[in-house]
Structure 1
Amino acid sequence: MSRQLDHLVVAARSLEEGAAWCQATFGVVLGPGGQHAFMGTHNRLLRLAGEGFAAAYLEIIAIDPQAPPPGRARWFGLDTPDVQAALALGPQLLHWVLRTDHLQADQQRLATAGHDPGRVQAAERNTPAGLLRWQITVPDDGLLRAGGALPTLITWDGAHPTERMADSGLALLNLQLRGLPAAAAALLPPSRVEPLPGPGPALQARLSCPHGEVLLASPFSVE
Structure 2
Amino acid sequence: MNARIDHLVIAADSLEQGAAWCAATFGVQPAGGGKHALMGTHNRVMAISSNSFPDCYLEVIAIDPDAPAPGRPRWFGLDHPGLRDALRDSPRLVHAVARTTKIEMLCQELANCALDPGELLTAQRDTAYGLLKWRITVRNDGRMESAGALPSLIEWQGEHPCAHLPRTDLSLRQLVLRGIPRQAFDVLQLPAVDTSPIDALRQAPLSATLESPRGRVVLDAWHTAP
TM-score (norm 1): 0.96
Match in the other structure for 2:54: 54
Report the Cα distance in structure 1 between the residues aligned to 2:101 and 2:75, rounded to whole angstroms: 22
Report the Cα distance in structure 2 between the residues aligned to 1:23 and 1:185, rounded to whole angstroms: 33
Which residue identity is paired with 1:166?
Answer: P
SS of equivalent to 2:120: strand
SS of equivalent to 2:76: helix
Match in the other structure for 1:218: 221
The Cα shift of 1:146 comes to 1.1
Of residues 151-160 and 194-203 in structure 1, the stretch that sits farther from structure 2 once superposed is 194-203
Which residue identity is paired with 1:134?
Answer: W
Report the Cα distance in structure 2 between the residues aligned to 1:131 and 1:120, rounded to whole angstroms: 19
- 1:36-51 residue pairs with structure 2 within 5 A? 36-51=36-51
Match in the other structure for 1:9: 9
Contact (CA 8 Å) 1:35, 1:43: kept in 2 or not? Answer: yes
The Cα shift of 1:164 comes to 0.5
Report the Cα distance in structure 1 between the residues aligned to 2:198 and 2:75, rounded to whole angstroms: 27
Report the Cα distance in structure 1 between the residues aligned to 2:92 and 2:111, rounded to whole angstroms: 27
Match in the other structure for 2:167: 167
Which residue identity is paired with 2:15?
Answer: L
Match in the other structure for 2:189: 188
Report the Cα distance in structure 1 between the residues aligned to 2:26 and 2:189, rounded to whole angstroms: 27
Contact (CA 8 Å) 1:109, 1:183: kept in 2 or not? Answer: no
The Cα shift of 1:180 comes to 1.1
State the Cα RMSD in Å: 1.5
Gaps of 5+ in 2: none
Post-superposition CA distance 1:22-66 (Å, at most 9, x none): 000000121210000010000000101212211100000000000
The Cα shift of 1:116 comes to 1.4
Contact (CA 8 Å) 1:123, 1:135: kept in 2 or not? Answer: yes
TM-score (norm 2): 0.94
Contact (CA 8 Å) 1:179, 1:197: kept in 2 or not? Answer: yes
The number of aligned residues is 222
Identity %: 48
Contact (CA 8 Å) 1:150, 1:181: kept in 2 or not? Answer: no
Q: 1:209 aligns with which of 208, 212, 217?
A: 212
The Cα shift of 1:89 comes to 2.3
